[in-house]
Structure 1
Amino acid sequence: MEGMGQFNVTSLMPVNPLNAPDAFERRSLQKFAHSGEVEAVEIEKVGDSYRLRYMAPLEVEVQCLACHAEQGYRVGDIRGGMNVTIPMDWAFAEINNNNRMFLFIAAATVVIVSLLIFLLFNSLVSRPLRRLTSMMDAYPEQPLAPLPDNDHEDGDEIDILNREFHGLCNRLERSQHELDTTREQVFQNEKQAALGRLVAGIAHEINNPLGGMQNCVEIMRRDPQDTERNERYLALVSQGVERIKCTVQQLLNIGRKEPLAIKKGDVDAMIRDSIELCCMGHRNITRELDLQVGREVVTGMESLRQVIINLAGNAVQAIGRDQGIIRASSRLRDGRLEIVLSDNGPGIDEAILDQIFEPFFTTKEVGEGTGLGLSISHSLISRLGGSLSVANLPDGGASFHISVPIEDAE
């Protein structure tokens, strides 16, 4: 019987040889007879096709003995089996189609869920983190964006991190403001200390022309009719006034604030005036200047003025009452201003050469120095984007080298 499947009856002892069992049927009948199994199922491959084999036993009943008693069967014996064979190609095709559909649905689900997770992660985690990272990278060059109005409310971990970062930046800005204020106070205090060290020489430079001017005035008062002599003395008085005026102007230049202001100025004149001011009243010191900038440039003029005064003042103190020389040179090289200031004093002990720019480090007696002059000088030059270095000269004395970037004056 054929159709959707095949149906047949077979036996280990068939009456018709055409009904002899095949291998599956033989195994199943033997299991029915010896193991007592009530059915057998197997998927069998024939060529490239599969088929389902099902077999159930046929037991001998009383009414069966009328025909099969002569074959030796008794009631309860397994006379044969009923076999059903169903082709499985259509079932496997359906299974494969279903599997492909399930695989497609699973893949589409994974893609859609992954996309949703990515969008959620990007919106809730990645994008806020990128904004926060951008703010961190741009700070402090760019000010922080203000927090949203509802940022005081509880948020997720990124919102908390954002608020903490804003709080940290606010504390840093307050600390930086306090540090700048303190640094400015230290700068001004060091300026005042430098002025104090220059008082004796400045007083001498002012008293000398004042004394000469007073003598001229006394002589002119005794004989006001001597017009020719009075004209000559008035010229001397005018020279003395100009000399005092220059000295006072140099003092005013030292006292200026805003040490880091970048502006246009004559570097050579600034170096000349600063060294002349430091050497006032010290006739034992010769000045040798090799100033070759020759034009105005844009740089931190007041910072450089304070550094030159600190270095020249230290050189004057190192030379003391001995005969000495202070040398200064300036030149432009590769877009930078280079200044070298040296003396022929005793120099600096090699053991402490690496420590002289440290704050409060000094070799002077108590009350003679704060230990901040060279530290402040080094800080000022560094903040201008330059460098300040020191070395001992072979013939004695110390040499300081300053290098800072400059801009051409328009």
Structure 2
Amino acid sequence: MKDFHTLEDFNFKDKTVLLRVDINCPLDRETLKIINDARIRRIIPTVRELMGKRAKVVILAHQSRKGKWDFTSLEQHAERLSKNLNYPVEYVDDVMGDKAMKAIRDLQPGSVILLGNVRELDSETAKLDMFGHAEGELVKALVPVIDYYVCDAFGAAHRSQCSLVGFPIKVPSASGRLMAKEISALKAIFDEPRRPSVFILGGAKFGDASEMIDHVLGTGMADTVMLVGLAGNAFLYARGTNLGERSLNVLKEELTDENLQAARDTMRRYGQRILLPSDVAIERDGERLSILVGDLPVDEPAIDIGDATIEKFTKVIMSSRTSFMSGPAGMYEKDGFGVGTKALMEAMIDSKGQSVIGGGHTVGAADTFDLTDRFSYVSTGGGALETFLLGQPLPVIDALKYSFNKYRFDDI
């Protein structure tokens, strides 16, 4: 049964549509240039459809958040969007001021503009629910100049932020094609996974790993969890493994007593169903070197899983019928240290079972290795995907459901 509007429900011709997307891209730390534009490419079908329906499309998006090194303008995102659409997308370096208002009013049917980084506004990230955000300055400023709101930002669907949940309270709203596809596909894949099912959790996040593991193993969603990347290193440390000073420095912000105790409790609860690396790869004299986890040197951090771990994990994956990966196994961007991530991804594909990856950096790695199109499904979500898999509510979906019930009987 349908519980939120989709694009076929409204007549967008000559109407102004505010389209919220998630095009938060991985950037090069030195140049701040986009490394991978997978998230931009995934929203193209929705943008093209709205253009084809002769809508005036106003895109709202974010890149990182204040205080982070990759918090930048969206000018280069507009350039990438233009290239992928094969149509010029005007970048407006303003969110709700006079410049933005003029650009919105001047829009012609079938045209597209991209407004500035919405997280320039402190009110965007205020701790409020959908009803509180609906009274925010951004909603009050833009509602008078728009007719519809469309959300295609599944990657941010776990966040209760103004541009994501405020508008559906005030105007007829719908999910974009990517959002609807994500929800449908993920339900189909994870409600009844084929057995055995293995989850590979990596990347830089550690704080939420214990809760995720407890849920997917406790509910039977997964039979085995593999931990790689910084999450794997953190669990090794929680187990008592000496990681070396450089490896610990990378993790220090998340190595709280609470997180470490949660990791120990999780490992005690599930035992051998949680697989950790037995060796890791370091860089020595410009070369990749696999070394046992207990022998890590002080000044050489672990930046990939090692060869023995790759062999062991690959065998487990190859025998699975459902495999899911969120987070790369190491610094795949660095020459010679994408080996672990690539090997695990190839095993997922070669297993011939259902293979799913999710999260910006994971998808970026798959693109780097030219593997993206070979998975059963590729999700744009990171935190949203994890929230979905934990069975927790997604604020954006809740807001769209509210809008569906509020506007479903109107002549729209």
TM-score, normalised to structure 1's length? 0.23
The structure number with the bigger radius of gyration is 1
Greater RCO (Cα-Cα under 8 Å, separation 6 or more): 2
The structure in which a higher percent of residues are helix is 1
